[in-house]
């Protein structure tokens, strides 16, 4: 009898928390995040955006198939009834957010993709979600935030069929910088065709960072997933008042875990802590996933310049954030 009562109490506690959280983040509203889209519609848009970013901004992992955005696969990944998803997709198509095209690799496959309007809608939803969560977390001190995030990870891992992936962040140590150079060279050659002169430039940046490293105003972060290196970023001194974000990348296999966002956030937070008045970065037009990370932190595009430094022509961009 005691066991039955305990289970009933646990069920009540879970239901109570579910009611609290759905109310707290507005899941019961007519439109998610004050938009005209339902939760399911927003989730489909987000899923298509993530798949598009992974295909456009990175080299596919060995053995993977880049065009995996069919309706059947979306339904399976989101655990949606195919008939219900079909109705959702028809509405998104009528709104001009989603379109279909035949796969180049297999003409029998009909792929789903976001239109430019759909991409804009997804960006707006993403910004709204970040703002909402920031508002929730800003009520808490750092210790309470860490407790909350750890508790959420525990819930995810306990209820998941597979153990949650453990993501950690640490400073660089011997061997890391050589890895950063090698991965930049390989990844950007695969995605943009840049030659070894790009890798040489990254090597120069890394060498300067190590030789002149000043921990009072500079820092690096290495992201690891289950103990495996998965990404990196560095904050470097540009002048007494200006810092520079450099060497950001996330391994293709580790994307979708929030690593890029966390790395950029850590870098900006450290720049503020060090007392810099601004932080700048240089990137290349077309890296849309990275662009969204910068925009989410408040960076503004200040300059574009045509270039052909490392192979095919490209447009370099300078972004700046006033601190």
Cα distance between residue 119 and residue 214, in whole Å: 41
The pLDDT of residue 221: 96
What residues make up the domain containing 234? 168-322
DSSP assignment string, 269-293: HHHHHTT-SEEEEEEETT-HHHHHH
Same domain, 122 and 226: no
| Residue with the two structure tokens 């520079």 | 244
Cα distance between residue 67 and residue 53, in whole Å: 12
Confidence of residue 71 (pLDDT cuts 50, 70, 90): confident
Higher pLDDT, 263 or 76: 263
278 falls within a domain: yes
Which residue among 80, 113, 130 closes a domain?
130
Higher pLDDT, 221 or 43: 221
The pLDDT of residue 216: 93
205 falls within a domain: yes
The pLDDT of residue 55: 46
Same domain, 257 and 185: yes
The pLDDT of residue 162: 62
191 falls within a domain: yes
Same domain, 176 and 318: yes
Higher pLDDT, 237 or 107: 237
| CATH value at residue 25 | 1.10.10.10
Which residue among 84, 107, 130 closes a domain?
130
| Residue with the two structure tokens 């925009």 | 295
Same domain, 118 and 174: no
Same domain, 285 and 202: yes
3-state secondary structure of 14: helix
Same domain, 113 and 192: no
Q: How many structural domains is the chain composed of?
A: 2
> Over pLDDT 70: what percentage of the chain?
88
Mean pLDDT computed over 221-250: 93
pLDDT beyond 90 at 160: no
146 falls within a domain: no
123 falls within a domain: yes
The pLDDT of residue 215: 93
Same domain, 247 and 297: yes
Enumerate residues 6+ apart whose C-beta is below 8 A from 43: 78
Same domain, 220 and 86: no
- Assigned token pair, 318: 């300078």
pLDDT beyond 90 at 180: yes
Name the average pLDDT for the chain. Answer: 84
pLDDT in tens, 207-218: 999 999 999 999
Scored b (16 or more CB within 10 A) or e, 68-77 reads bbebebbbee
pLDDT beyond 60 at 131: yes
- Assigned token pair, 94: 């009528």
Q: Which helix (H) or strand (E) holds 235?
A: strand 228-237
| CATH value at residue 233 | 3.40.630.30
The pLDDT of residue 163: 64
pLDDT beyond 80 at 150: no
306 falls within a domain: yes
The pLDDT of residue 153: 73
How many Cβ atoms from other residues are within 10 Å of residue 254's Cβ?
20
Higher pLDDT, 163 or 212: 212
105 falls within a domain: yes
The pLDDT of residue 256: 81
Mean pLDDT computed over 185-203: 88
Same domain, 179 and 316: yes
Enumerate residues 6+ apart whose C-beta is below 8 A from 238: 244, 280
Three-state SS annotation for 124-187 = HHHHHHHHHHHHHHCCCCHHHHHHHHHHHHHHHHHHCCCCCCCEEEECCCCCHHHHHHHHHHHH
119 falls within a domain: yes
Mean pLDDT computed over 136-165: 75
Same domain, 119 and 176: no
Same domain, 173 and 121: no
The pLDDT of residue 15: 86
pLDDT in tens, 21-63: 887 777 666 677 778 888 888 888 888 888 765 444 443 333 3
How many Cβ atoms from other residues are within 10 Å of residue 19's Cβ?
11
Same domain, 189 and 288: yes
């Amino acid at each position: 009898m005691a066991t039955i009562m305990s289970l009933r109490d646990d069920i009540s506690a879970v239901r109570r928390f579910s009611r609290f959280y759905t109310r707290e983040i507005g899941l019961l509203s007519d439109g998610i995040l004050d938009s005209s889209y339902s939760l399911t519609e927003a989730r489909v848009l987000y899923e298509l955006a993530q798949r598009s970013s992974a295909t456009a901004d990175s080299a596919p992992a060995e053995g993977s198939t880049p065009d995996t955005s069919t309706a059947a696969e979306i339904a399976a990944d989101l655990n949606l009834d195919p008939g219900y998803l079909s109705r959702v997709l028809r509405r998104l198509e009528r709104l001009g957010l989603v379109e279909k095209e035949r796969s180049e690799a297999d003409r029998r496959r009909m792929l789903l993709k976001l239109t430019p309007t759909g991409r804009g809608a997804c960006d707006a939803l993403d910004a709204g979600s970040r703002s909402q969560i920031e508002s929730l977390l800003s009520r808490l001190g750092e210790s309470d935030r860490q407790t909350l995030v750890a508790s959420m990870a525990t819930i995810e891992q306990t209820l998941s069929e597979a153990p949650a992936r453990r993501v950690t962040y640490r400073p660089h140590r011997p061997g890391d910088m050589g890895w950063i150079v090698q991965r930049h060279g390989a990844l950007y050659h695969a995605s943009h065709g840049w030659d070894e002169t790009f890798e040489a430039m990254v090597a120069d940046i890394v060498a300067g960072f190590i030789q002149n490293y000043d921990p009072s105003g500079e820092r690096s972060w290495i992201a690891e997933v289950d103990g495996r290196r998965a990404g990196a970023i560095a904050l470097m001194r540009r002048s007494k008042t200006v810092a520079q974000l450099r060497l950001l990348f996330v391994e293709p296999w580790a994307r979708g875990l929030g690593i890029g966002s966390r790395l950029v956030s850590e870098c900006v937070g450290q720049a503020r802590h060090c007392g810099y008045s601004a932080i700048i970065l240089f990137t290349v037009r077309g890296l849309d996933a990275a662009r969204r990370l910068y925009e989410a932190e408040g960076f503004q595009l200040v300059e574009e310049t045509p270039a052909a430094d490392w192979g095919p022509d490209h447009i370099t961009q300078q972004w700046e954030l006033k601190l």
